[in-house]
């Protein structure tokens, strides 16, 4: 499907195909960046995406995204059936993931996801006060109560499901409580993102710093108790020192994943969907590799504002999505991101130093043993 | 107004990078207690180290990777400081009173000690000695609900008279019974009183094991499989006969649950001695 050009990022390694099955959603979260519409991906477009992924001859992720992808479960099932068929012939290797708000998760879907190894990530903001503040249904009602039994069913069937938590200035005071709530609920993978487009100011950032300090204490206590968990803000920052930068965490705009809009238009990342300026072709007619490469190069250029920064290799300032969300441009670094990095790094490093000094075995295995996830699975089994 | 502010200086963190850690082959052999209780994990780690897949130093492969065995250079091997994992056999959770329809069968300290001593003898260990551990962190479990017993449990500093101690190997044991859970729960500040009590012997044992050295911590498995209860067919029985038959069925159920708990406990103890053997201590 890739056009013949001098630059072909596809040859650079594995990429994931994120299929935006629909722009519509059964919720109306306050901070959502998706322009809701009634667009739905056709089966033909979904299967064309799988065919494009197949040609990579590599292990490829098929990610179902939205809007709310579970509004179109049948489309998802047919796409996975087709991909499994291709996989069974030995033509490609796929893994699947769906990101959902959870409201439409039911036993049947959970069983199907397990049987087909479709990984489920659920968006949830933690304690009721935080979750219901922004994650509302179309009637403006919080969804916390409705999700309570669903979370239990999800974790029973898929115990490694991650919780995706968004922290907004309006909920930052509940950050640590929310992480604790999700952890106690049974989530072992807690992925936290700031709403960079939110109305952050000095006061809310000070509050964020206090929450990070509380979270660091929780992280230390859980690690001392040999609990197994992944708490993204600290894991990413600690890893950035141990592994020498954020290399593994970078999406590299269009290099490791592309987004397919409902109409088949290809974009470099989820947050660009619908902005024709960033369109890189169509899944039916081919990806414009020249456009893709130029976007990638533009994003990779060192940002002038960060030239002299001592921690730029450990920082997420190169995330085009995030910069665009915050500043409107992929090249202008988000001041909120900068402030976040400046407060988080020393807290994460102090935490890691304490645990290393104690030669905490859980910390050492988790951070220094590449095979820790495998050992952990063996233990669980 | 927020703005981007580069950090001109940032101190180098005082924990190693992966490349630096590669110079310390022993680092990766530092095992969490929960891993070292699982032979499959130890075998897998040994294999991964030998294949150089762990990302850290690849020193000589120990026949039995030593989990968190800290040697005191001035001491003999038998004076090593051992942190002993809790070996998991049985759920170690139960509740009693009010709405608890399937109360667990508790093991007494004496019943448990008998099993532990019997197994110890097979490995040449004599647990008839006494020892008190001073100023250790005693877990404070909560009797008001399992939710309240999430790790980390609160703790208080206190002394612990071990249930048994072997002078020769300098290793002791503590069996976490329901009596212990009740006693330690009273060390906390909880003023909530409920008509139902919950006992989480396993979580309590986990917490205790992290604060003691050279001490094996076992726990009451608290078997309570109510589906195994076989109510009698009353048929034409008189009321008296029915009551007597029911009582016999309950006793039979309790006996079977107790046997189950004793078997689970014996498995905990066997795993411990096999682990100790692997450490070269016995």
Query: In this predicted model, what pLDDT tens digit does every residue of A336-361 receive, in sequence order?
Result: 999 999 999 999 999 999 999 988 99
B35 touches B67 (CB < 8 A): yes
Of A116-125, A222-231, B17-26, B263-272, the one with minimum mean pLDDT is: B17-26
For the stretch B134-160, what's the b/e string if a residue is b when 16 or more beta carbons lie within 10 angstroms of its beta carbon?
eebbbbbbbbbeeebbbbbbbbeeeeb
State which residue of chain B sits closest to A306, comparing Cα positions.
B6
Cα separations (Å) of B172 from A368, B75, B122, B270?
A: 33, 18, 16, 15
Cα separation, B57 vs A373, in Å, equals 18
Question: Which residue from A minimizes the CA distance to B6?
Answer: A309
Smallest CA-to-CA distance from B202 within B157, B151, B255 is with B151
Query: Could you tell me which residues come within 8 angstroms of residue B279 by beta carbon, excluding any fewer than 6 positions away?
Result: B64, B66, B69, B82
The token pair that represents A377 in the structure block: 């699975």
Any B CB within 8 A of A359 CB: yes
Q: How far is CA B280 from the centre of its chain?
A: 21
Q: Among A205, A225, A361, whose Cβ lies nearest the Cβ of B31?
A: A361
State which residue of chain B sits closest to A379, comparing Cα positions. Answer: B41
**What value does the mean pLDDT take over residues A55-77?**
91
Beta bridge partners of B138: B156
pLDDT, position B62: 36
- For B157, phi then psi, to 5°, come to -85, 135
pLDDT for A243: 87
Is the complex ipTM higher than 0.85? Answer: yes
Q: B8: which chain A residues are within 8 Å (Cβ-Cβ)? A: 308-310
Judged by CB atoms closer than 8 Å, whether chains meet at B151 and A371 is answered as: no
- Tell which wins on pLDDT, A106 or B188: A106
Per-residue pLDDT of A233-261, as tens digits, reads 999 999 999 988 665 555 667 777 889 99
State how far the Cα of A313 lies from the Cα of A284, in Å rounded to an integer. 38
Is pLDDT of A3 > 80? no
The helix (H) or strand (E) run that includes residue B43 is helix B39-50
A343 close to B (CB below 8 A):
no
DSSP secondary structure string, A50-115? Answer: HHHHHTT-SEEEEEEESS-GGGGHHHHHHHHHHHHHHHHTTS-EEEEEEEE-STT--HHHHHHHHH
Chain A residues with CB-CB distance to B30 below 8 A: 359, 361, 364-365
How many beta carbons lie within 10 A of that of residue A134, not counting itself? 20
- CA–CA min distance B234, chain A (Å): 39
* pLDDT for the residue numbered B118: 93
* Tokens representing residue A140 in the block: 């403006």
Note the pLDDT of residue A65.
96
Amino acid B58: pLDDT:
44
| Contact call for residues A191 and A162 (beta carbons, < 8 A) | yes
List, in order, residues 6 or more apart from B65 with CB less than 8 Å away.
B29, B31, B42, B45, B46, B49
Contact B84, B48 (CB under 8 A): no
Question: What is the pLDDT, as a whole number, of residue B56?
Answer: 55
Query: Is B208 within 8 Å of chain A by CB?
Result: no
pLDDT at site A316: 86
A368 closest CB neighbour out of B5, B7, B56: B56
Partner B contacted by A221 (CB < 8 A): yes
Among the partner residues A221, A364, A378, nearest to B152 by beta-carbon distance: A221
Q: Under an 8 A CB cutoff, do B7 and A342 touch?
A: yes
Is A186's Cβ below 8 Å from some Cβ in B?
no
Element (H, E) at A258: strand A257-260
Q: Does the global pTM surpass 0.90?
A: no
CA triple A83-A120-A321, angle to 5 deg: 90
Residues of A in contact with B3 (CB under 8 A): 335, 338
Contacts of A196 in chain B (CB under 8 A): none
CB-based contact A374 B150, cutoff 8 Å: no
Which residues of chain B neighbour A307 with C-beta distances below 8 Å? 6
Average per-residue pLDDT in chain A? 90
* pLDDT higher than 50, residue A195: yes
Which of B213, B157, B202 shows the shortest CA–CA distance to B175? B202
Over range A270-299, report the average pLDDT. Answer: 87
Which residue, among A66, A148, A134, A142, has the nearest Cα to A105 in the 3D structure?
A148
Contact B4 A305 (CB under 8 A): yes
8 A C-beta contact, residue A69 and residue A96: no
First to last CA, chain A: 41
How far is Cα A167 from Cα A326, in angstroms, rounded to an integer? 14
- Among residues B208, B191, B199, the alpha carbon closest in space to that of B152 is found at B208
Q: Closest CB to B55: pick one of A184, A227, A369.
A: A369
Of the CA atoms within 13 Å of residue B16, those in its CB half-sphere come to 16
* Contact residues for A270 (Cβ-Cβ < 8 A; gap 6+): A18, A20, A65, A259, A321
Residue B35 touches chain A, beta carbons under 8 Å: yes
Reference B131, options B110, B155, B153, B160; nearest CA is B160
What pLDDT does A189 receive?
A: 96
- pLDDT given at position B13: 92
Whole-number Å distance between alpha carbons of B36 and A265: 51
pLDDT tens-digit profile of A145-165?
A: 999 999 999 999 999 999 999
Ranges in chain B, pLDDT < 50: 57-79, 100
- Residues of chain A contacting residue B14, judged by C-beta atoms under 8 Å apart: 353, 356-357
Instruction: Report the residue of A188, A197, A225 to disrupt the B interface, i.e. the one with the largest count of B CBs within 10 Å.
Output: A225
A95 has a chain B CB within 8 A of its CB? no
Tell me the C-alpha distance between B151 and B40, whole Å. 25
Query: Which pLDDT belongs to residue B60?
Result: 37
pLDDT band, very low/low/confident/very high, at A208 (cuts 50, 70, 90): very high
Decide if A379 and B151 are in contact by the 8 Å CB cutoff: no
Residues of B in contact with A378 (CB under 8 A): 38, 40-41, 44
Set of chain B residues whose Cβ sits within 8 Å of the Cβ of A369 = 28, 45, 54-56
Question: Is any Cβ of chain B less than 8 angstroms from the Cβ of A277?
Answer: no
pLDDT at B77: 38
Between CA A371 and CA A376 the distance in angstroms is 9
Nearest to A361 among B10, B32, B206 (CB): B32
Q: Which of B15, B27, B152 sits opposite A352 (nearest CB)?
A: B15
- Say if the Cβ atoms of A349 and B15 lie within 8 Å: yes
Task: Say if A366 is an interface residue toward chain B (CB within 8 Å).
Answer: no
Helix (H, G, I), strand (E, B) or coil at B279: coil
| pLDDT score, position A35 | 83
Please state the separation of Cα B162 from the chain's center in Å: 15
- Pairing type for strands A189-194 and A93-100 reads unpaired
Cβ contacts of residue A203 below 8 Å, gap of 6+? none
pLDDT at residue B97 in the model: 62
CB-nearest to B10 from A205, A221, A311 is A311
A16-20 sheet: strands from edge to edge: A230-231, A189-194, A163-167, A118-123, A93-100, A59-65, A16-20, A257-260, A266-267
d(CA B37, CA B18): 26
Contact A379 B9 (CB under 8 A): no
Taking the C-alpha atoms of residue A230 and residue A366, their distance in angstroms, rounded to an integer, is: 9
Task: Identify the band that residue A99 occupies on the pLDDT scale cut at 50, 70 and 90.
Answer: very high
Q: Which residues of B touch A356 (CB under 8 A)?
A: 14-16
Cβ-defined contact of A338 to B32 (cutoff 8 Å): no
CA distances from B214 to B78, B80, B170, B281 (A): 10, 8, 7, 11
Question: Residue A113 above 90 pLDDT?
Answer: yes
Q: Do you know the residue count of chain B?
A: 282
Give B 83-142 residues with CB within 8 A of chain A: none
**Residue A18: strand pairing partners:** A63, A259
Nearest residue on chain B to A225, alpha-carbon basis: B152
């Amino acid at each position: 499907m890739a056009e013949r050009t001098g630059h072909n990022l596809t040859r650079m390694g594995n990429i994931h195909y994120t299929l935006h099955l629909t722009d519509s959603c059964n919720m109306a979260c306050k901070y959502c960046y998706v322009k809701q519409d009634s667009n739905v991906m056709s089966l033909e477009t979904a299967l064309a995406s799988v065919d494009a992924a197949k040609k990579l001859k590599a292990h490829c992720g098929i990610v179902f995204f939205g809007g709310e992808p579970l509004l179109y479960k049948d489309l998802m099932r047919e796409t996975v059936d087709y991909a499994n068929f291709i996989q069974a012939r030995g033509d490609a290797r796929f893994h699947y993931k769906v990101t959902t708000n959870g409201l439409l998760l039911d036993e049947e879907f959970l069983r199907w996801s397990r049987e087909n190894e479709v990984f489920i990530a659920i968006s949830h903001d933690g304690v009721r006060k935080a979750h219901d503040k922004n994650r509302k249904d179309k009637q403006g009602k919080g969804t916390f109560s409705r999700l309570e039994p669903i979370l239990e069913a999800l974790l029973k069937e898929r115990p490694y499901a991650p919780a995706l938590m968004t922290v907004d200035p309006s909920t930052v005071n509940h950050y640590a409580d929310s992480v604790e709530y999700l952890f106690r609920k049974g989530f072992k993978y807690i992925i936290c993102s700031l709403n960079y487009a939110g109305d952050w100011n000095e006061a809310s950032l000070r509050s964020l710093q206090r929450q990070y300090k509380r979270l660091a204490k929780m992280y230390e206590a859980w690690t001392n108790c040999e609990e197994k968990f992944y708490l993204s803000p600290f894991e990413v920052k600690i890893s950035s020192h141990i592994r020498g930068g954020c290399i593994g965490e970078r999406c590299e705009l269009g290099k490791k994943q592309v987004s397919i809009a409902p109409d088949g238009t290809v974009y470099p990342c989820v947050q660009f969907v619908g902005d024709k300026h960033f369109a890189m072709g169509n899944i039916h007619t081919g990806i414009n590799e020249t456009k893709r490469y130029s976007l990638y190069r533009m994003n990779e250029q060192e940002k002038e504002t960060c030239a002299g920064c001592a921690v730029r290799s450990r920082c997420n300032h190169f995330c085009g999505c995030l910069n665009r969300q915050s500043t409107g441009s992929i090249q202008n670094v988000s001041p909120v991101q900068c402030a976040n990095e400046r407060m988080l790094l020393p807290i994460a490093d102090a935490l890691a130093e304490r645990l290393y000094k104690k030669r905490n075995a859980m910390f050492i295995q988790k951070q220094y043993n590449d095979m820790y996830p495998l050992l952990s699975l063996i233990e669980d089994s | 107004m927020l703005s981007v502010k580069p950090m001109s200086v940032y101190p180098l963190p005082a924990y190693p990078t992966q490349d630096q850690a590669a110079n310390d082959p022993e680092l990766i052999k530092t095992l969490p207690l929960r891993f070292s209780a699982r032979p499959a994990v130890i075998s897998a780690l040994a294999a991964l180290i030998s294949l150089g897949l762990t990302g850290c130093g690849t020193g000589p492969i120990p026949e039995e990777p030593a989990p968190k065995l800290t040697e005191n250079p001035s001491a003999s091997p038998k004076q090593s400081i051992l942190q002993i994992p809790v070996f998991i056999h049985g759920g170690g959770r139960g509740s009693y009173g009010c709405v608890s329809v399937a109360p667990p069968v508790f093991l007494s300290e004496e019943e448990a000690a008998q099993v532990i001593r019997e197994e110890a003898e097979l490995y040449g260990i004599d647990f008839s000695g006494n020892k008190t551990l001073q100023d250790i962190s005693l877990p404070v479990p909560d009797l008001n609900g399992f939710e309240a017993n999430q790790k980390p449990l609160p703790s208080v500093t206190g002394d612990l008279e071990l249930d048994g101690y072997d002078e020769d190997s300098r290793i002791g044991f503590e069996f976490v019974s329901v009596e212990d859970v009740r006693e330690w729960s009273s060390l906390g500040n909880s003023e909530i009183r409920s008509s139902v009590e919950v006992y989480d012997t396993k979580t309590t044992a986990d917490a205790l094991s992290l604060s003691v050295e050279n001490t094996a911590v076992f726990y009451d498995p608290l078997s309570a499989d109510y589906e195994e209860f076989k109510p009698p067919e009353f048929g034409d029985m008189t009321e008296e006969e029915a009551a007597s038959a029911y009582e016999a069925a309950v006793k039979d159920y309790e006996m079977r649950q107790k046997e189950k708990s004793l078997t689970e406990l014996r498995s905990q103890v066997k795993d411990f001695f096999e682990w100790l053997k692997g450490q070269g201590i016995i």
